[in-house]
A and B are shown apart, each in its own frame.
Chain A
Amino acid sequence: GENVEQHPSTLSVQEGDSAVIKCTYSDSASNYFPWYKQELGKRPQLIIDIRSNVGEKKDQRIAVTLNKTAKHFSLHITETQPEDSAVYFCAAGTASNFGNEKLTFGTGTRLTIIP
């Protein structure tokens, strides 16, 4: 099955600086790569996703890049703010014609923004 590795497990950055979180995946059939943000005591929520036919996607201060050849994808947060402090999860999903699609999550990165 799919295996997703996520690094680093913790990350502290000064407010206003950029943060980068990296993930690798093992299954070349995976074609959907979402990122979820989970604030303390809350449920995970989707912040951005990318499909394998796209190399980069941006949404304001957040961007995701995908390198299918190397099987890795990254989350970039620019101009970080205190409200960016949270745990971030990457995931890889595989679509099939038989309905057995599954999301495999990474182990999470705890991002702390230092004021």
Chain B
Amino acid sequence: NAGVTQTPKFQVLKTGQSMTLQCAQDMNHEYMSWYRQDPGMGLRLIHYSVGAGITDQGEVPNGYNVSRSTTEDFPLRLLSAAPSQTSVYFCASSYSGTTEAFFGQGTRLTVV
């Protein structure tokens, strides 16, 4: 039982490049979400999903896309990386939006 698995752990991108952060969970959770963590700003919600085929925007969605084709996977796509997207990204899953969230180990992304 791996829980929530995020890849990669570290990534450096050049401005304008695109990439996908992977997130997979094996707990059969319906609810999955992506956060970014910046110093002094806590965890801010980017996008979330309440089940396969359903996604919605969070607090800071601009520059990011998501899809949820299966219950297990919830990838986050950066369309055209910008230095402002330098951050630590966490994926989380839970039974619902108001139950315990299990976080992945995080991805430290640097955009130069």
What is the distance, in angstroms, from B47's C-beta to the closest C-beta of chain A? 11
Question: Residue of B at shortest CB range from A41?
Answer: B106
| Contact residues on B (Cβ < 8 Å of other chain), bracket | 20 to 34
**B contact residues around A6 at 8 Å (CB):** 42
Q: How many residues of A contact B (CB 8 A)?
A: 28
Residue A94 is within 8 A (CB to CB) of chain B in the complex: yes
Count CB-based A-B contacts (< 8 Å).
66
Contacting residue for B98 out of A1, A89, A95, CB 8 A? A95
Cα of A102 to Cα of B54 in the assembled complex, Å: 14
A44 touches B98 (CB 8 A): no
Partner-A contacts on B (CB < 8 A): 31, 33, 35, 40-45, 48, 50-51, 54, 56, 58-59, 90, 96-101, 103-106
Partner-B contacts on A (CB < 8 A): 1, 6, 9, 31-32, 34, 36, 42-46, 49, 89, 91, 93-95, 99-108
Question: Residue of A at shortest CB range from B35?
Answer: A105
